[in-house]
Amino acid sequence: MNFFTANLSASLMVKTEAPRIRKVADVLRTPNKRILLFANSGFQDLLLYTDVEAYRQVYEQVQRTRGEMPPELVFTDHHFTDVIEERAIILQEWLTFRDQVARNCPRLKGRGFMYFSEESLASLAISWYARADFDDVIHKEFNIRLRWIIESGLGDKFLEDVSPGGGGGGDCWLRLSDKADMEHRVLDFSDLRPIFLLHLVLSCSAILAFVAEAYRATKCRASSTSMRSAR
């Protein structure tokens, strides 16, 4: 009884964190997990025309699980639920994904966390192109002003203006260095289901043992009565 009480207390206070997907190899180890991807996007071309075998396998899994779809169909409550319940993952760049997590966080809060993997498939560089005869002085002034914009924090201010939580994902975002601490989340029935199932199994076992003992005792008494009658 003491052991069961200790186990019950631990189950109420601790929620085990699910294994995280950190690298491409972790994705490929779950071949039935759905990978959601923007159709006709740069990521699709990257996976389709790559020379990296692991990337080709990722795209095969995208096709096999029918994960290609228009952007407006990717970030839905149904798909976020699939991600939280480990049935799907979303292949997306960090700015868009964090923005969408922040926008959907009021519906997701308390159900789980979103995070990025450690390994990135590729870095899509954004560059400025100019004519070869472009004036060097103007080019230099452009670069100076771009650095001013970055160092002044206007980029972060822009994210705060256009994205809930400044594009940070709100309370539903989890960094890789963080632990999914569920201490402040209200436990629901699904968290306590194993305890109730264990209680049901133990109760059924106790009832079966009681019935067996009662049957055995009744049979022994009947046998003793028959023997006395025979004498």
Confidence bin at 115 (pLDDT 50/70/90): confident
Q: How far apart are CA 48 and CA 41, in angstroms?
A: 11
Other C-beta atoms lying within 10 Å of the C-beta of residue 33: 19
| Least confident window among 27-41, 79-93, 110-124, 141-155 | 110-124
Provide mean pLDDT across the span 89-114: 80
Confidence bin at 101 (pLDDT 50/70/90): confident
Question: What would the pLDDT profile of 148-205 be if each residue is shown by its tens digit?
Answer: 888 887 777 776 776 655 555 567 777 655 555 444 455 566 667 788 888 888 889 9
Please state whether 88 falls in left (phi above 0), alpha (psi between -120 and 50) or beta. beta
5 SS3 class: helix
**Contact yes or no for 173/101 (Cβ under 8 A):** yes
Q: Which CATH topology does 17-181 take?
A: D-Maltodextrin-Binding Protein; domain 2 (3.40.190)
The pLDDT of residue 5 is 39
Confidence bin at 10 (pLDDT 50/70/90): very low
- In DSSP notation, 164-180 reads GGGGT-GGGB--TTS--
Q: How far apart are CA 134 and CA 144, in angstroms?
A: 16
Q: How far apart are CA 61 and CA 91, in angstroms?
A: 12
Confidence bin at 6 (pLDDT 50/70/90): very low
In the chain, domain spans: 17-181, 187-222
The pLDDT of residue 227 is 61
Question: What would the pLDDT profile of 22-73 be if each residue is shown by its tens digit?
Answer: 888 888 888 888 989 888 887 788 888 888 888 889 889 999 999 899 988 9
Q: Look at strands 88-90 and 34-38 and give their pairing.
A: parallel
| Least confident window among 10-14, 84-88, 191-195 | 10-14
The pLDDT of residue 64 is 92
